[in-house]
Amino acid sequence: MESVDLEVLRSSVRWDEQGHRCLLLTVVHTWGSSPRPAGAMLAVRDDSLVVGSVSGGCIEDDIIDRTRREGIRCGSPEVIRYGVSAEEAHRFGLPCGGTIELVAEPVSAASGLRELLQAVEGGRLVTRTLDIATGIATLGPAAAADGLTFDGKSLSTIHGPRYRMLVIGAGQLSKYLCEIAVGLGFDVTVCDPREEYTESWAVPGIAMVRTMPDDTVVEMALDERSAVVALTHDPKLDDLALMEALRTRAFYVGALGSRRNNQARRERLKEFDLTSQQLARMHGPAGIYIGSRTPPEIAISILAEVVAARNRVRLPDDLRVERSKSVREAPADTSGACGISVNG
């Protein structure tokens, strides 16, 4: 699985090389409620084939219809707005009268998409600046905190890995988790010094290191755009990673395991001079409660919690694995108001 943005770029470059005319659309502004955020992209080919998304589907339908009727002209980029009126908002499925503004640019050599794709595939974070009048795009360096800017004359978008994820352990669960994490826009590194696991690892697009986990955490210099997930069930490996990760600014540090193992892990980590505040940052057992049992379900559970942390969404306690299981295992109160058993 790859990120949506990467899929759009690859398709645009491939279609252009195949001789198709192609239109790249980017959401630049939203007002009110909108299904997709600024920066979302859609590519449409001259035969109406599309990749990506800029709405819940209704705007895509209109773009496809326009392409069929008018074709794709080799002109300069233009600004398109949907949902200005209540009638349009209803027609295009924009909730609460939302409005979306798009920049639509015909893909050509001046677009620089081939160079952009090469930079992103090489793991670089870059800014692409498009001149609306000429359709010429240039690339430059970017910082992870940079965002989209549009002033009507030029459009600057950020491309490449903004977030990193370090996964400890190269087991079966890690494969599912890593594949989905890449689709969520993470630059993923797997750390496992055990040869019996790494020799059979075959997940494209994932970096593999065989160093000790604590050394890996230190070397990666994790920041506030980093997440760490420990999945080995081996305290000698997971604890080493957690010991160092909890001292960093990583926005998420989590570990797989039962509630009993999680409590034992916290007691062990106290011996490494971690403060109570640092220990409180650890998500364990990692994930939200969805009744997951299989590796793919567990991966979804963990990544849902990671994405919530990335988006700064505070989850209710009832969604946390430890809390949810405790509630479900508590004896039910079957007594009536006067202490008489309801069920006899």
pLDDT by residue (tens digit) across 271-330? 888 888 999 999 989 999 998 889 999 999 999 999 999 999 998 877 877 666 655 555
- What residues contact 321, with CB distance under 8 A and at least 6 apart? 259, 285, 286, 287, 288, 289, 301
C-alpha angle 84-88-90 in degrees, rounded to nearest 5? 125
- Rounded-to-integer distance, Cα 159 and Cα 146, Å: 10
The length of the chain is: 344
Name the least confident of 37-46, 203-212, 334-343. 334-343
One-letter amino acid of 144? A
The CATH number assigned to the domain holding 265 equals 3.40.50.720
184 and 295 co-located in one domain: yes
In a domain, 318, yes or no: yes
149 in the same domain as 15: yes
Query: What distance in Å separates the CA atoms of residue 238 and residue 91, rounded to the nearest whole number?
Result: 52
Note the pLDDT tens digit of each residue in 313-332. 998 877 877 666 655 555 55
* Amino acid at position 166, single letter: L
> Would residue 88 count as lying in a domain?
yes
Q: Which of 96, 130, 159 is the last residue of a domain?
A: 159
In a domain, 177, yes or no: yes
Instruction: Kindly state whether residues 187 and 263 are assigned to the same domain.
Output: yes
pLDDT range class, residue 91, cuts 50, 70, 90: low
Q: How many domains does the chain have?
A: 2
d(CA 211, CA 297) in angstroms, rounded, equals: 28
- The parent domain of residue 295 ranges over 163-326
Q: Identify whether 341 is part of a domain.
A: no
201 plus 274 within the same structural domain: yes
Flag the least confident range among 36-50, 105-119, 315-329.
315-329
Does one domain contain both 216 and 250? Answer: yes
Average pLDDT of the segment spanning 26-47 = 86
Please compute, for residue 146, the number of CA atoms within 13 A of its CA located in the half-sphere on the CB side.
19
Whether omega before 285 lies within 30 degrees of 0, making that bond cis, reads yes
